[in-house]
Structures are given as structure tokens and as C-alpha cells.
Structure 1
Amino acid sequence: MKQTLTKKMWRETGSAYLFLSPALFVLLLFIIGPIVFAVFLAFHKVQLLGATSFEFVGFDNFTRIANDTRAKIALWNTLKYVVIVVPCQTILALVLAATLNAGLKGERFFRIVYFLPTLTSSAVLTLIFMWMYNQNGLINHVLEAVGLPTYNWLGDPDVALNAIMIMNIWSTAPYFMVIYLAALQDIPDSLYEAAELDGANAWQKFWHVTVPYLRPVTSFVVIMGLIGTFQLFDQSYIFSAGSGGPNNSTLTVVLLIYQYAFKTLGTMGYAAALAFALAIIILIATLLQRKLSKEESLY
């Protein structure tokens, strides 16, 4: 009897792995495999053009990051982008969701309108905003029409990254708004009724009932925002034609990785080291955020 059960268990396990094998193969080939290979490249000097060669250099690629001026600029730009965009898009998403959940007239129409930016591809949105920011674009035409001076939005290093921030806040907030909206509809009405009996106004109900109840959702939104903003690439690439300009003002870590990997000979290993360092930074930021959110929930 025991031997029969063992055979049946092995047969069921084998059948399960047989059905899982296509997914496991794709996972190994396209996710785990590239990660392992990238780690391997990070410790080598790689030459891919001509005669392919891999020269082991240990931690030289990582120590080089500390002396790379462009890497420091890219990291600073990325950190500034993350610190501004993540809180702004989270707050805007929560405000939009709370507004739509208030039962205003035309709620369905506004849901569609607010969500439209998320349906448009990132490249198309970037091209639209480039046209708007252009010296002969929509924004300058509006400024000129009301008698205000025009501005070179894309050519000024002090403004270029801020222009990308505005575009991304506008385009990503609706996605997180839908997540908040689903969570808001799960809040029991009894909590708001109890708050009303205690004399709470609309703002007090929002701050003391809605916000605490949505804390787990906010944690998820912030983590997803952190991961997405640290990986900023396509908008910066399109805005600057791949250069990170003007004057490295839109240079991000991922764009720098691309430049070293595909634009400069013999620096594929260094690009892999930068990618590995960025992954560690994202992991640390995510773990810190999770720890803080758990402490807040305990409090």
C-alpha cells in the first residue's frame, strides 16, 4: 500500500512538472538565464565585436563606477526623478480616485478621460509632449497668445528633466488611480457613518478613514512607482536623441547603461556592472519602503 502511494505521488509530481515544463523553459531561457549572464559579464571585460573575448577583471568594473563622472550625474538625475515623481504620482492618483469615488455626475465619462493617457504608448506620448515643449509648440503658442515670454523647454538643462517629470506624472497617475479606485470601493460605509457621528467633516473622513485604510495599497503603488521610475529610459532617450542632453541633464542610469553597452566598444562588462548596481539600489529602496510601511501599519 505504501509503495503504491509512493508511485502515485511520483506519477502526479512528474505529470505536474511535465505541464510546467514550457513555462519553466521560458523562465530559465528569457529571465533567469539573462540575469546570470549579466552577473557574469559584470566581472569581465567583454569584447563582442570581431573576436569575442571575456577577460576576468574581478571588481574593477564596480570600482570604476565611483570614478565615473557621468555615472554620478546619471545617478543624481535618476534619484531626483524618483524623489519627485513617485510622491507626486501617488498623491495625484489618490486624489483622482477619491474624486471619482465621490459619486459626482458624469463619473463614468471622467474615468475614461483620466485613463486615456495610460492607453497610449510611452513613445507616442513622448513625441506629443516634445511637440508641445518645442519652441514652436503648443505651450509657447499659448504663452505668446496671453502675452507671456516663450521658453526653450527642451534646450535648457535646468528644465529638460522637469519636463519629463511632468509628462510621466500625468501619464502614470491614471494607472495607479484605477488601483486606488478599486480599493476605495471596498471600504465599508459603516466607517464613514461612524466618523460622521463623531462630527468628522469631509477632509477628516478622508485623512483619518480613507488614507489609513488604503495604506497597504499605497505601499504597493509606491513600490511599483519606485521600480518604474528607477528604470526610466525611453522618454529620456527620445527627448535627447539618445545623448542624455542637454548637458547630461536628462541622462539616467538606464540610458547610461545603454550607451556603454551598445555605443562604446569594450564596455559591455562595465554596463552590466552598472545594471547590477542599479538592481541592488532598487532592491534596497523597495525593502526600505516595505519596512517603513510595516512600521506605520503597526503604529
Structure 2
Amino acid sequence: MRQSYNKKKLKETGQGYFFMSPTIFVLGLFVIGPILYAIFLSFHKVQLLGNVSFDFVGMDNFLRIADDQRAQIALWNTLKYVVIVVPAQTMLALILAASLNAGLKGQKFFRIVYFLPTLTSSAVLTLIFMWMYNQNGLVNHILATIGLPTYNWIGDPAVALNAIMIMNIWSTAPFFMVIYLAALQDIPESLYEAAELDGANAIQKFFFITVPNLRPVTSFVVIMGLIGTFQLFDQSYIFSGGSGGPNNSTLTVVLLIYQYAFKNMGTMGYVAALAFALAIIILIATLIQRKFSKEESLY
């Protein structure tokens, strides 16, 4: 009896894997395979043009990162971008969601308007902002009209990265706003009614009911924001014409990887090491964030 049961279970397992085999094949070929190959390349000096060669160099590619000044600049720019953009877009998304969930007139119209930046192509959005950031563009015109100083948003190394930050906070917050809006529907209305009976005002209800009940969603939003911001590429590439300028002020790790990979094919092993190091940094940042979110949920 037990033997027939084991045969039946084995048969069902085999059928399951058979039906899953197309998906497993695609994941293995296009996801797992490239990841393993990139790890393999990161430990080799690779020559892909002419006489293809793979020379094992151990940790040399990773040690080279510490001596690469452009890699250090790119990492610093990326970290600064992440530290500013992730909290800003998260708070803005939460505030927008709470405002639209408050039952204001025309909230359906404003939901559509706020979400429009998310539907716009990143490249098109960047070109629009470059036009707005022009020295004689809309942004400087508004600043001059209200008596504030104007800036060379694209050509000044002290301002260029900030210009990209402002653009991305404005364009990505609506996506996370929709996630918060969905989560707000699950907060029991009785909690707000009880708070009103206790004399709580709107701000107190927001900080003592809304924010604590949205902690799991906030954790998800922050993790998604970390992954997305660490991978900044297209806006930096378009803003600087692929150079990461002015003066490397918009150079990010992914843009540097692109430059080394497609402008100097002989450094493919080093490129793989940079990509692998970035993946480790993203993983560590995600794990730290998850740990803090779990500790907060205990209280």
C-alpha cells in the first residue's frame, strides 16, 4: 500500500515538473544562467573581441574597484541619490494617498492627474524636464518671477544630480501612491471613529492610526524604491549624453557599467565585478530595511 502511494506521489510530482518545465527552462536560460555567467566573468579577465579568452584573476577585479576613482564617484552619487529620493518619494506618495483618500471633491480626477507621470515614458519625461531645466526654461522663469535665484540645472555639477532627483521624486511617487491608496482601503473605519470619540484631530489620526497600519506596505514601498534608485541609468544617460557629466556629477554605478561594457570591451570581467558588487549592495540594503521593519512591527 505504501509503495503504491509513493509511486502515485512520484508520478504526480513528475507531472507537476513536466508542466512547469517551460517556465523552468525560460528562467534558467534568461535569468539564472546569465546571473551565474556574470559571476563567472567577475573572476576572470575577459577578452570578447578577436581571440576570445578567459583568464582567471581571482579577486583582482573586485580589488580594482577600490582603486577606481570613477567607480568611487559613481557609488557616492548613487548612494546620495538613494538616501534622498527613497524617503522623499515614500513620504510624498503617502501624503498624496492620504489626501485622495480623505473624500475630497474631484478625487477621481486628481487620481488620474497624479498618476499620469507614471504612464509617461522615462525618456520622454527626461526630455521634457531638460527643456524645463534649460537656463531660459520654465523652471528658471518661475524662480525669477517669484524673486528666487536661478540655476544652470544641467550644466552645473553642484545642481545636476539634484535636478534628476526632483524629476524622479515627482515621477515615481504616483506609482507608490496607488499602492498606498489600495492599502488605505483595508484600514477599518471604526479605528478612526474611535479616535474621533477620544478627541483626536486629523493629524493625530494620521500619525497614530494610518502610519502604523501601513507599515508592511511602507516596507514594500521602501524596498522597491531602493532597488529602483540603485539602478538609475536612463535619466542620467540622457541628461549627460552618456558621459555622466558635468564633471561626473550625474555618473551612477549602472551608467559606469554601461560605459565600461560598451566603450571598452576588454574590461568585461571588471564590468561583471561592478554589477555583482552593486547586486550585493542592493541585497544588503534590502535586508537591513527588512530587519528594521520587522523590529518596528514588534512594538
TM-score range (shorter-chain normalised) is: over 0.9
> 1:280 maps to what in 2?
280
Residues of 1 paired with 2:15 and 2:183: CA distance?
A: 39
TM-score, normalised with respect to structure 2 = 0.97
Residues of 2 paired with 1:254 and 1:27: CA distance?
A: 23
Tell me the secondary structure at the aligned position of residue 179 of structure 1: helix
Tell me the secondary structure at the aligned position of residue 266 of structure 1: helix
Closer/same/farther in 2, CA of residues 99 and 235 from structure 1, 3 Å limit = same
Please say which of residues 63-72 and 8-17 is displaced more in the overlay: 8-17
The percentage of counterpart residues that share the same residue type is: 82
Residues of 2 paired with 1:32 and 1:221: CA distance?
A: 26
Q: CA shift at 1:131, angstroms? A: 1.2
Tell me the secondary structure at the aligned position of residue 248 of structure 1: coil
CA RMSD of aligned residues (A): 1.3
> 1:107 maps to what in 2?
107
Q: CA shift at 1:245, angstroms? A: 0.2
Q: CA shift at 1:148, angstroms? A: 6.0
> 1:181 maps to what in 2?
181
> 1:33 maps to what in 2?
33
Residues of 2 paired with 1:237 and 1:193: CA distance?
A: 50
Residues of 1 paired with 2:179 and 2:204: CA distance?
A: 22
- Describe how 1:40-55 pairs up with structure 2 within 5 A: 40-55=40-55
Please say which of residues 199-208 and 139-148 is displaced more in the overlay: 139-148
> 2:234 maps to what in 1?
234
Q: CA shift at 1:144, angstroms? A: 5.2
Runs of 4+ residues deviating >4 angstroms: 143-150
TM-score, normalised with respect to structure 1 = 0.97
5+ residue gaps, structure 1, are none
> 1:250 maps to what in 2?
250
> 2:193 maps to what in 1?
193
Q: CA shift at 1:4, angstroms? A: 2.8
Give the number of equivalent residue pairs: 299
- Describe how 1:116-131 pairs up with structure 2 within 5 A: 116-131=116-131
> 2:78 maps to what in 1?
78
Q: CA shift at 1:137, angstroms? A: 2.5
- Describe how 1:117-196 pairs up with structure 2 within 5 A: 117-143=117-143, 150-196=150-196
Q: CA shift at 1:261, angstroms? A: 1.2
Q: CA shift at 1:149, angstroms? A: 5.8
